[in-house]
Amino acid sequence: MSGKYTFNVKDKIFWTEGWGSLGLAVIIALFIRWAFIEAYVIPSGSMLPSLLIHDHIFVNKLTYGVRVPFSEKWLVKLNEPRRGDVVVFKYPQDMSTFFIKRVVGEPGDKIYYENGMLYINDKPVDRDVPDQLAGDMEWLRDEDFQRDGKYTDTKSNYTHFEENIDGRKHSILIEKGKLYEQFGPDVVPDGHLFVMGDNRNNSLDSRYWKFLPKENILGRAMFVWLSCDETIPGIPFPICNPLTIRWTRLLHQVQ
């Protein structure tokens, strides 16, 4: 570094060592965030056990295409969301709020949900009870369920299933003794999707606010790059407490 800073845009130093280099770095970072990849933090337990509270994830924003900046319109469309994809999207009832759910219904699909069982096009989705509650379940704590007034809830109140949608397996939770919930049957309209949380009894999803417009989708969840049990209190944005980092969860792929 020469120590010389200049505001002359015709000067090479401006672009290599001056304010121009900083501006270019910011522009490149914003471009990557807009078009390719963006980081999000999981704030709730609606996707337990697949995604934990305070999971920091990367979202692939290019997988479905490229949008016109600051709009819901597609500039280039590459792929369509598929059943089983975990997607981040703008909540249809408040576009300033971001949600993350799993796609279970594509346009034209007939969706029915009853007694903890999901039916797609009149066929029950395959699911099994694992022999051991391992994998996604090993990270769960009782504290993860004791939110939104459920102060006495524990993970022992839930049954863990492995659901198989189109050959893509993922974990879901069903609360014991709560098998009376029902939705549908209803057909997903064109240009929309049906999405659900993996924590089936604790998710505000398409069963309550109906279908998700495809243009609301921001991208597909890729993997967990950081995860922790607790964040540092008193800070307006989530920063992991380094003493509570879940080291074995780093680089965990979102199934």
Among residues 61, 90, 101, 214, which one is catalytic? Answer: 101
Per the annotation, the verdict on 203 as an active-site residue is no
Question: Do residues 31 and 137 both lie within one domain?
Answer: no
Per the annotation, the verdict on 46 as an active-site residue is yes
Residue 29 has pLDDT above 90, yes or no: no
- In which residue are the tokens 């200049």 written? 6
Question: Do residues 175 and 96 both lie within one domain?
Answer: yes
Cα 55 from Cα 149, distance rounded (Å): 22
CATH code at position 244: 2.10.109.10
Supply the Cα-derived Rg of the chain in whole angstroms.
21
Question: Do residues 122 and 5 both lie within one domain?
Answer: no
Task: Report the percentage of the chain scoring pLDDT > 70.
Answer: 82
Region 122-142: mean pLDDT is 77
Question: Do residues 169 and 193 both lie within one domain?
Answer: yes
Q: What is the pLDDT of residues 160-212, one digit of tens each?
A: 899 999 999 999 999 988 767 889 899 999 999 999 999 999 999 999 999 99
Q: Given this model, what pLDDT does residue 72 score?
A: 76
Number of domains making up the chain: 2
Domain that holds residue 26: 1-35
Cα 82 from Cα 50, distance rounded (Å): 18
Region 55-83: mean pLDDT is 85
Q: Given this model, what pLDDT does residue 178 score?
A: 75
**Predicted TM-score (pTM) of this structure:** 0.83
Could you tell me whether strands 217-227 and 252-253 are parallel, antiparallel, or unpaired per DSSP bridges? antiparallel
Cα 246 from Cα 242, distance rounded (Å): 9
Question: Do residues 95 and 149 both lie within one domain?
Answer: yes
